[in-house]
């Protein structure tokens, strides 16, 4: 298995190991960490077309891009072609790629005929993709699920429709909306989509390590893979997978010292980008992910749950750096 570039419209990635879009996760600080680990393409959090068109400050903040992280795909969601078209015009002025979310299973998103709800309405699905493609200055990709439920699997149909509407690539997470993230991803659906379209196909779902990535490439012939939940607290997975692609060997896991350095860098980035208190409040979940499985975790949780300052973060990391998560913060 070798690293391969992927051509998505006019964008060519340096490899085929991508960061998945995750709401509340894939902001600039986190994407910067993953970029340093070698990911070939980064995806933003979901951006509301309605919020963007209405000039929402919070929505605009989510669409920020750091020049050092390119190429970046900004992910857009919405249920109205007109709003999606206007949002595409705005975002494509800065994005490298626009990605349309047709897979989110959250009820709040579904109520607006967005996300996976589009899989039940092919006419609206096509109208939205066409509107985004028409108004975008950059390539457009589409994130899909295998269908609404097990009785309405339509991944091949929606992928072919996306291609016909001008999409430059599709991503398939082969679970239904009703499965959410439960059960097992049906990788065979990725293989079927790959055979059905000519544009690049990105595979997603149940990728936890190097062996999983290798297996997905072999079983589906997909052009790239997208790693999501497996990188929470473990951004090193990207360089490990890329190293395995190039050498066929497993890379050594990072030492505690390096982990602490990366956690510190991530936390400081959150404080700088979102403000110290807001950044640290949001960083609490990341800290718990980073320290998952480490000895003394139950003693660490109270420290993390009261975290509000960078100074507090540094004290926690000082304890962790000594390999003593049972210590108490002064």
Mean pLDDT (whole number) for 27-36: 97
Residue 58 has pLDDT above 70, yes or no: no
Q: What is the mean pLDDT of residues 85-113?
A: 93
Between CA 146 and CA 220 the distance in angstroms is: 14
Is 0.85 surpassed by the pTM of this model?
yes
pLDDT of 178: 83
Q: Are the C-beta atoms of 190 and 201 separated by less than 8 Å?
A: yes
201-204, strands of its sheet edge to edge? 17-19, 224-227, 201-204, 169-176, 140-147, 97-102, 72-77, 42-48
Residues 6+ apart with CB under 8 A from 255: none
d(CA 3, CA 100): 26
With b meaning 16 or more CB within 10 Å and e meaning fewer, what string describes 182-199?
Answer: eeebbbebbbbbbeebeb
The domains of the chain are located at 7-247, 256-321
Q: What is the pLDDT of residue 105?
A: 86
Is pLDDT at 1 greater than 70 in this prediction? no
Per CATH, the number for 256-321 is 1.10.1200
Q: Which pLDDT score is estimated for 323?
A: 64
Q: Tell me which residues are annotated as active site.
A: 104
How high is the pLDDT of residue 237?
98
Q: What is the pLDDT of residues 235-262, one digit of tens each?
A: 999 999 999 999 999 999 999 899 999 9
φ and ψ at 3, to 5 degrees?
-65, 140
How much is the average pLDDT of 182-201? 95
Q: What is the H or E stretch that residue 304 is in? A: helix 297-305
Please determine, for residue 295, whether its predicted confidence score (pLDDT) is greater than 80. no
Q: At what angle do helices 237-247 and 210-220 cross, to 10 degrees?
A: 60
Residue 272 confidence (pLDDT)? 96
Mean pLDDT of the chain: 92
Under CATH, which architecture does the 7-247 domain have?
A: Alpha-Beta Barrel (3.20)
Residue 326 — very low, low, confident or very high, per pLDDT cuts 50/70/90?
Answer: very low
């Amino acid at each position: 298995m070798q690293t391969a570039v992927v051509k998505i419209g006019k964008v060519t990635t340096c490899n085929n190991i991508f960061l998945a879009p995750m709401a509340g996760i894939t902001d600039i600080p986190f994407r910067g960490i993953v970029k340093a680990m070698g990911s070939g393409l980064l995806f933003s959090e979901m951006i509301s077309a309605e919020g963007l068109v209405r000039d929402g400050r919070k929505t605009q903040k989510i669409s920020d891009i750091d020049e050092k992280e390119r190429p970046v795909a900004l992910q857009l969601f919405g249920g109205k072609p007109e709003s999606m078209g206007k949002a595409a015009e705005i975002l494509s002025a800065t994005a490298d790629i626009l990605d349309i979310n047709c897979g989110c299973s959250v009820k709040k998103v579904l109520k607006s005929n967005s996300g996976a709800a589009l899989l039940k309405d092919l006419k609206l699905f096509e109208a939205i993709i066409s509107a985004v493609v028409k108004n975008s200055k950059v390539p457009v990709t589409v994130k899909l699920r295998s269908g609404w439920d097990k009785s309405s699997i339509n991944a091949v149909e929606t992928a072919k429709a996306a291609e016909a509407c001008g999409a430059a690539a599709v991503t398939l997470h082969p679970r239904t909306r009703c499965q959410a993230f439960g059960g097992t991803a049906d990788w065979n659906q990725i293989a079927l989509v790959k055979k059905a379209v000519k544009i690049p196909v990105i595979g997603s779902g149940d990728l936890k390590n190097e062996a999983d990535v290798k297996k997905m490439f072999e079983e589906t012939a997909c052009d790239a893979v997208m790693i999501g939940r497996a990188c929470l607290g473990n951004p090193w997975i990207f360089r490990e997978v890329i190293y395995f692609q190039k050498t066929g060997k497993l890379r050594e896991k990072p030492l505690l010292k390096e982990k602490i350095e990366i956690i510190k860098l991530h936390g400081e980035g959150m404080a700088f980008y979102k403000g110290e208190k807001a950044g640290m409040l949001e960083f609490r979940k990341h800290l718990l992910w980073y320290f998952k499985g480490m000895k003394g975790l139950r003693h660490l949780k109270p420290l993390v749950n009261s975290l509000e300052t960078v100074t507090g973060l540094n004290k926690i990391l000082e304890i962790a750096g000594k390999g003593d998560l049972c210590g108490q913060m002064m």
